[in-house]
Amino acid sequence: MEEKLLIIQKIIQQESKTSTYKFALLRAVIDLISAQSPFIETEGKVVKIPVALISDKWLFYYWDLIGTSYTQINGGRKLACEERILFLKSGNKFRNYWDFNKSIHQTSYSSANKELFCSTIKELNNTIIKNPARYLGSSSKKGEYSFFQIEKNEIKKKNEEGFLDLIKNSPKICFDLAYYNVFRSFGGLISGSNSIILHWIAFMNKKISSQEGSIVREPTTRYGNDQLLSIMIQEQVVEREVKEIRDFWVNRIRIGIPVFCAWSGKQIKEVSNLAIDHAIPFSVLFNNDYWNLLPCHSKVNGNKSDKILSPKQIQLAKERILDIWNSYRNEPKLSQTFEAQYQISLLGNSLESNITILFDKFTSVNRFFIEVRGMESWKS
């Protein structure tokens, strides 16, 4: 493992880079491994990841960087995906990445969006395959595609009705299982989210949950005030993008339907005490899916902060979590998006999609961050 870490260090520090593509590719692979994407395959000593999933991550990374003065590519040239992202953003078609995310992560597309979404992913797939996947690892002097190899998809009939089809029909990047193990164990350090400096800055800048009128904001780890870093981790945008779920629980409180804190089990009787918790902290997983957004009492939420749920806490809260997810499944305005999101994030191609299997995978992801990444666990 030490040898593989050294090779990755050389890639990051020594290889020539004409753009930020190599950084984006490595970060996407690490993020997908950290999230335990159900679409990651292992065959012998080779790991495979659909390029479409990496393309989706790139849209997240670059969405708010496009159109800024920050250097993304040498010589003043435009990124290959720049025109595409500007088109998606133009005329407020999509307010931000999370608005776009909820639309593209559907299992079926409207005729108006089908061609747009399919062509977007294919364009990004080609960019990733022909650029960073091709040249990453050049420091090894083994030629092109030395670190990542490409497996083309041989499926002839491509319905591509939704994002699951795009993943199924996607080419895959392939790499050595030994590198997968390095990314799995040390990915948080390589990508920077667990670096000493960022934790130091977080400690100095962390803010206690503040109450503005009737809205209690979820406390988030703030890594300094640097605008560029804020853009890259989407910390400001995500606070606004829990509104749909928040409105759902606010309405229940106001019409007298009991709403309970996911973690303490106590009833939340006042809207002013309602917080929407990212069960797996956004700063850890960068996930804003409905299954990860649960009602929580503001004081409990402040205590949990960015800690990882302990296995014991998850089991204690199991029935409440299942009730919350079933509430989303039974709400017409939320159900389609909820089911599409958990299929993509947690279940993959599994034909079984009952709520208990979803809970087991949710538990597994939390356990990974405690047992493999050594993150602090939390119990109310």
The full length of the chain comes to 380
Domain spans, the chain: 2-190, 206-378
What residues form DSSP beta bridges with 67? none
**Low-confidence residues of the chain: pLDDT under 50:** 207-225
CA-wise closest residue to 262 among 218, 224, 226, 313: 313
**Which DSSP letter does residue 344 get?**
I
CA distance 43 to 46: 5
Beta strand pairing call for 377-378 and 308-309: parallel
Report yes or no: 57 and 32 within 8 Å, Cβ to Cβ.
yes
Taking the model in full, what pTM does it have? Answer: 0.86
Give the separation between CA 260 and CA 277, rounded to whole angstroms. 13
217 and 275 Cβ atoms separated by less than 8 Å: yes
pLDDT of residue 307: 93
* Alpha-carbon distances, residue 19 vs 53, 95, 124, 131 (angstroms): 20, 26, 15, 10
Element of type H or E holding 163 = helix 163-168
Helices (H) and strands (E) in the chain, counts: 19, 10
Tokens of 319: 């029935």
In the block, which residue shows the tokens 């939420």?
301
pLDDT tens readout for residues 277-322: 999 998 889 899 999 999 999 999 999 988 999 999 999 999 999 9
In the numeric block, the tokens 């193990």 are attached to 181
Q: For residues 272 and 212, is the Cβ–Cβ distance under 8 A?
A: no
Q: What pLDDT was estimated at residue 233?
A: 60
Which residues touch 171 (CB under 8 Å, ≥6 apart)? Answer: 50, 51, 125, 129, 150, 151, 152, 153
